[in-house]
């Protein structure tokens, strides 16, 4: 049972700000992922929760108690490191039981707890091996086992999968999710991989330049990004974003990307956008899956657009089509059966129900 | 392609053996010569016969030394000094290296450099000031520090501690930071991080430092020569030279025997610790 609360948390390294005041409430049993580009302060935040970094300002509460000056060993947390940090001279069993032995628990209880956790993680056969005799995935499991066996209030994960190859990473991602479903413990997980963030999190916290850009459920972040940064960071391939002008004619709004391409703004958004018509520098955003091959359409606000594809990338289940509008490369996800060819002028269908309008100066999504 | 690669490899191997053989000859000839000489009588040594062959082998030199109370005293003194120096050196160097490599505190960087600079001061420069200090201490307190074998236990750490600290800073610094962070989170204090993580993982470094400290205190010649004058207070290197060279008479057979026997303990220690020293214990700690 533990909530984690960050209040106006600040960290400076020799005058250089790394974390510039973040507020976050993490509920008991919640799986929160901090995601952002390198240098955004996510790992620093995690290390401050762990007690491995002093904090410059603000407060950290674990289970309702301020732990600003509590050393790591008394915070009742467990951490899984990017490079596993297994003790090389100890067997798997000794690695996993190290914390319990320090607490001087009875031997048979230690044995029982290690065996139970090893069972959950499927490493029961490896208990007598040394870390160097294990593969990357096995080491990762042992590192997780060492954390779980202590039954802490909070799990902290610091990019635990980034040292694994792509296939194993996807596999371990599922494993971590399964483990969290079995061992429901409050978890803070740091990654730079937005796919990992989306798939694992109850709530994703996108960080940039030491601040929280947006926090929310994965799908909310994906469909309703609050800022330009989040819009561009979440989603792969990334959202198409290009400069645009908002024109008003006869009570209706049009988004103009360049001389040829312009779209009508859905009527229900007219009121929301009207104030921005014709004045500020605006950006238009539309995800690749909302730009498809031409097909019969009856839904409102779907609009054909004629483009010349420059490159096509067949992915099997879909074909990515790249073209330029207004000097910006755009991407569409099309049905392979449409057989779009590079250099051949073709019609695509834009679904403007999912468009975003972004104020370039403030970076806010309007 | 593969043929030329094999050829290249072969020639590299041949040259390695050539140089290894050369080094082996250069380094093993003196001990071999000592061994041959130790089996000769003084008469045979001074005769002009072939020096690389023993015509009348004898163990007289060995039995003379091993029954000589003076030689056995040197041996005992050397052993006590070396063991004590190794213990004191480790007791100081290990915590020093740990704190200098891991704890950031005011002046830690300067202190680490200072430790290294201390080692750069040659011992020949220090023995006269040390002599003055001992005389001063005796004047003021009446405690006689000169001419006692145990004073070497106080002096030798000034030579061994800086170097041993320096090697172990290097070894400790190579231990991934996450390892101690993991231990701290697992509930260990700094002392437990040192004893349960650092010492086992950096064992090769600790052993290297032990070997160094032992060798220095076992083999150092200048300080024992300068600070001990009575026969019963001497250690091996100074004792051999003081007792077996009488005026201009060199008792070569016994000198060689004494030196050979004196070299045995370090040799035995090397042989035992080498395996640990070479074994790379850090493999598998992190990815890599």
Residue A79: strand, helix, or coil:
strand
Q: Which of A83, A130, A136 sits opposite B176 (nearest CB)?
A: A83
CATH topology of domain A240-359: OB fold (Dihydrolipoamide Acetyltransferase, E2P) (2.40.50)
The distance of A215 to chain B (nearest Cα, Å) reads 28
CA dist list (Å): A310 to A320, A321, A328, B208: 11, 8, 12, 64
Task: Tell me the chain A residues in contact with residue B286 when contact means C-beta distances shorter than 8 Å.
Answer: 83-86
ipTM of predicted assembly, 2 dp:
0.83
* Interface touch B284/A102, C-beta < 8 Å: no
* Interface touch B285/A50, C-beta < 8 Å: no
Note the helical H segments in A164-234.
166-182, 194-200, 218-223, 228-233
* Interface touch A99/B284, C-beta < 8 Å: no
Rounded CA-CA distance A334/A344 in Å is 15
* Interface touch B185/A139, C-beta < 8 Å: no
**Sign of the alpha-carbon dihedral angle for B84, B85, B88, B93:** negative
Rounded CA-CA distance B167/B185 in Å is 28
* Interface touch A85/B184, C-beta < 8 Å: no
Considering the domain delimited by B60-278, tell me its CATH architecture: Orthogonal Bundle (1.10)
Nearest residue on chain A to B199, alpha-carbon basis: A89
Other CB atoms within 10 A of residue A209 CB: 15
Beta strands in A281-327 (DSSP E): 282-286, 291-293, 302-307, 311-314, 319-325
Rounded CA-CA distance A294/A306 in Å is 10
Residue A212 pairs with which residues in a beta bridge?
Answer: A207
Residue-by-residue pLDDT tens, chain A, 366 positions: 689 999 998 898 888 888 899 999 999 999 999 999 888 889 999 999 999 998 998 899 998 899 999 999 899 999 999 888 999 989 999 999 999 999 999 999 999 999 999 988 888 899 999 998 998 889 988 999 999 898 899 999 999 888 888 888 888 889 889 888 888 899 999 999 989 999 999 999 999 988 899 999 999 999 999 999 999 999 888 999 988 888 888 778 888 887 788 888 888 888 888 888 876 688 999 999 999 988 887 777 888 888 899 999 999 899 999 998 888 899 999 998 888 888 889 989 999 889 999 988 888 888
Task: Tell me the chain A residues in contact with residue B192 when contact means C-beta distances shorter than 8 Å.
Answer: 102
What is the 3 state secondary structure string of B82-124?
HHHHHHHHHHHHHHHHHHHHHCCCCCHHHHHHHHHHHHHCCHH
Q: Which of B178, B200, B282 sits opposite A81 (nearest CB)?
A: B178
For chain A, the domains span 4-224, 240-359
User: Which of A43, A84, A143 should one mutate to test binding to chain B, selecting the residue with the greatest count of B CBs within 10 A?
Assistant: A84
- The full DSSP string for B167-219 is HHHHHHHTS-HHHHHHHHHTT--HHHIIIIIIHHHTHHHHHHHHHHHHHHHHH
**Sign of the alpha-carbon dihedral angle for B217, B223, B227, B232:** positive
Rounded CA-CA distance B169/A120 in Å is 40
CATH 3.40.50.460 matches A4-224: no
Measured between alpha carbons, how far apart are the two ends of chain A, in Å?
Answer: 39
Nearest residue on chain A to B180, alpha-carbon basis: A85
Contact A239, A356 (CB under 8 A): yes
The distance of B7 to chain A (nearest Cα, Å) reads 34
Task: Tell me the chain B residues in contact with residue A77 when contact means C-beta distances shorter than 8 Å.
Answer: 185
* Interface touch B287/A103, C-beta < 8 Å: no
Among the listed residues B40, B38, B23, the one whose alpha carbon sits nearest the alpha carbon of residue B262: B38
* Interface touch A130/B200, C-beta < 8 Å: no
* Interface touch A98/B186, C-beta < 8 Å: yes
Among the listed residues A291, A268, A286, the one whose alpha carbon sits nearest the alpha carbon of residue A355: A286
Q: What is the model's pTM?
A: 0.81
């Amino acid at each position: 049972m533990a909530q984690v609360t960050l209040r106006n948390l600040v960290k400076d390294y020799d005058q250089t700000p790394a974390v510039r005041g973040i507020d976050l409430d993490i509920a008991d049993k919640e799986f929160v992922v901090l995601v952002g580009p390198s240098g955004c302060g996510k790992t620093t935040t995690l290390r401050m929760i762990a007690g491995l970094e002093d904090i410059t300002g603000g407060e950290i509460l674990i289970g309702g108690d301020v732990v600003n000056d509590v050393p790591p060993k008394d915070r009742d947390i467990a951490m899984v490191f990017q490079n596993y940090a297994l003790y090389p001279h100890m067997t798997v069993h000794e690695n996993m039981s190290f914390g319990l032995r320090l607490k001087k628990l009875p031997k048979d209880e230690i044995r029982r707890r290690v065996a139970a956790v090893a069972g959950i993680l499927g490493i029961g056969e490896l208990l007598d091996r040394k870390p160097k005799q294990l593969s990357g995935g096995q080491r990762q499991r042992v590192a997780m086992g060492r954390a779980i066996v202590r039954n802490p209030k909070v799990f902290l994960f610091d990019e635990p999968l980034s040292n694994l190859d792509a296939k194993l990473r996807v596999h371990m991602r599922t494993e971590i999710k399964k483990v969290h479903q079995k061992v429901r413990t409050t978890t803070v997980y740091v990654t730079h991989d937005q796919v990992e963030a989306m798939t694992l999190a109850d709530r994703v916290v996108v960080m940039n330049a030491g601040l929280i850009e947006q926090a929310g459920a994965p799908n909310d972040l994906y469909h309703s990004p609050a800022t330009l940064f989040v819009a561009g960071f979440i989603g792969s391939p990334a959202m198409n974003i290009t400069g645009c002008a908002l024109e008003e004619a006869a009570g209706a709004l049009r988004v103009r990307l360049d001389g040829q391409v312009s779209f009508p703004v859905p009527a229900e958004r007219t009121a929301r956008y009207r104030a921005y018509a014709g004045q500020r520098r605006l950006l238009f955003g539309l995800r690749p899956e909302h730009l498809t091959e031409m097909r019969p359409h009856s839904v409102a606000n779907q609009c054909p657009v004629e483009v010349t594809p420059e490159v096509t990338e067949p992915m099997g289940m879909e074909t990515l089509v790249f073209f330029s509008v207004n000097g910006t490369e755009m991407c569409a996800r099309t049905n392979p059966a449409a057989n779009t060819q590079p250099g051949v002028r073709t019609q695509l269908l834009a679904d403007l129900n999912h468009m975003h309008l972004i104020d370039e100066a403030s970076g806010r999504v309007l | 392609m593969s043929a030329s690669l094999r050829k290249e490899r072969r020639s590299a191997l041949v040259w390695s053996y050539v140089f290894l053989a050369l080094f082996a000859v250069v380094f093993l000839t003196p001990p071999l010569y000592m061994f041959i000489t130790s089996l000769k009588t003084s008469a045979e040594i001074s005769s002009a016969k072939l020096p690389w062959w023993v015509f009348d082998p004898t163990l007289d030199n060995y039995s003379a030394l091993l029954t000589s109370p003076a030689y056995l005293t040197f041996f005992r003194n050397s052993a006590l000094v070396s063991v004590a120096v190794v213990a004191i050196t480790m007791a100081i160097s290990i915590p020093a290296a740990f704190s200098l490599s891991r704890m950031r505190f005011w002046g830690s960087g300067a202190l680490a450099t200072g430790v290294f600079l201390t080692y750069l001061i040659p011992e020949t420069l220090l023995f006269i000031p040390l002599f003055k200090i001992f005389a001063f201490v005796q004047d003021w307190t009446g405690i006689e520090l000169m001419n006692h074998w145990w004073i070497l236990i106080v002096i030798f750490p000034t030579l061994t501690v800086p170097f041993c600290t320096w090697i172990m800073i290097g070894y400790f610094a190579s231990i991934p930071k996450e390892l101690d962070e993991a231990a701290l989170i697992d509930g260990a204090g700094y002392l437990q991080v040192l004893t349960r993580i650092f010492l086992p993982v950096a064992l090769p470094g600790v052993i290297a430092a032990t070997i160094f400290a032992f060798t220095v205190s076992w083999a150092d010649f200048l300080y024992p020569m300068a600070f001990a004058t009575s026969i019963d207070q001497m250690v091996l290197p100074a004792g051999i030279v003081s007792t077996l060279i009488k005026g201009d008479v060199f008792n070569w057979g016994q000198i060689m025997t004494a030196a050979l026997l004196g070299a045995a303990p370090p040799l035995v220690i090397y042989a035992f610790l080498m395996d640990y020293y070479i074994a790379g214990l850090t493999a598998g700690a992190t990815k890599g």
